[in-house]
Amino acid sequence: MRVLISADMEGVTGVADPADVRPGEPEYERHRRQLTAEVNAAVRGVLARHPGATVTVTEAHAAFRNLLLPDLDPRARVLRGRPKTYGMLAGLERGADAVIFLGYHAKAGTAGAVLAHTVSGAVIADVRCQGRSLGEIGLNAALAAHLGTAPVLVTGDDLTVREAAQTIPGVHTVEVKRALGASAADSLHPVRACELIEDAVPAALDARAEVRPPRFTGPVELEIDVHRTATADHALLVPGMRRTGGTTLCYPAPDYPTAYRLVELVATLGLAAS
């Protein structure tokens, strides 16, 4: 059994404000400890069900350097830093049987969700593949499916797990907090959140054949709505990219992995243009 844990941060219990997940802020240090604790809970859950499993943790928040490595379960390997192949899902190119989306958040535009955004809140307003709007949960689930990996568990706030259930029928979820607004949450105690995550993993792994993630075969028409016209200007430097509106970009990707990586590229170009 090979399991990848994609560790984002906005969906960790207790996180509510942008400063909670911003390196250099006082609260960030406390919340990165909780992120590490929740990852460790998932690792324990995997190894309780499959003692011989290979567990890899891939950092999936900001610059991909958030986990406290000395505190990480020593039975896991960790991928950190950027850029990484497939970004939030780096490691899937090596092959995996299941992937866990830990500490995730709702997609951009989700009313009332804690710190909702898609890839880069400062750059991207929406992403559509074949006309279907997808946040990070959907984008990552579709990549996992393309690479033969089942997304089995999503943790985050109540609106995040609702999005997960709608986007990935059959997926298991753990609600570690309830959203009270974009920067407010009713959170579980950190210990309780870890207990729920650890307990949920074995059943999620057992049910991986029941998961039905979104799939895109063949060419994919990718559309990205960005916030600024300057971002669109920079994105037009990509051969084949075209503008279909003032801030809407369209790209005819030959396959889904190419579309996925184009989203990350547009986000990077947008930050460079700001």
pLDDT in tens, 63-78: 999 999 999 999 999 9
Return phi, psi of residue 218, to 5°: 75, -165
β-partners of residue 102 are: 7
Residue 22 pLDDT exceeds 90: yes
Residues 81 and 145 in one domain: yes
Specify the pLDDT at position 118. 98
pLDDT, residue 143, reads 98
Does one domain contain both 179 and 258? Answer: no
User: How many separate domains does the chain show?
Assistant: 2
Which of 158, 192, 210 is a domain's end point? 210
Q: Please check the confidence at residue 164 and state whether its pLDDT lies above 80.
A: yes
- Same domain for 67 and 156, yes or no, is yes
Judgement on whether residues 262 and 141 belong to the same structural domain of the protein: no
Same domain, 107 and 7: yes
User: Same structural domain for residues 34 and 111?
Assistant: yes
Angle between helices 190-206 and 26-49 (to 10 degrees): 40
CA distance 269 to 167: 28
- Give me the domain span that covers residue 21: 2-117+135-210
pLDDT tens by residue, 184-239: 999 999 999 999 999 999 999 999 999 999 999 999 999 999 999 999 999 999 99
Statement to judge: residues 262 and 150 lie in one domain: no
Same domain, 88 and 181: yes
| Beta carbons of 4 and 56 less than 8 angstroms apart | yes
Q: What is the CATH number of the domain that holds 36?
A: 3.40.50.10780
pLDDT band at 157 (very low <50, low <70, confident <90, very high): very high
Residue 130, domain member (yes or no):
no
Residue 43 and residue 99 in one domain: yes
Q: Are residues 182 and 65 in the same domain?
A: yes
Considering the domain architecture, whether residues 164 and 243 belong to the same structural domain is answered as no
98 found inside a domain:
yes
pLDDT at position 271:
86
- For residue 164 the two structure tokens come to 């997960």
Residue 196 has what pLDDT? 99
Q: Has residue 180 been placed in a domain? A: yes
Q: Determine, yes or no, domain membership for 101.
A: yes
Q: What is the reported pLDDT for 41? A: 99
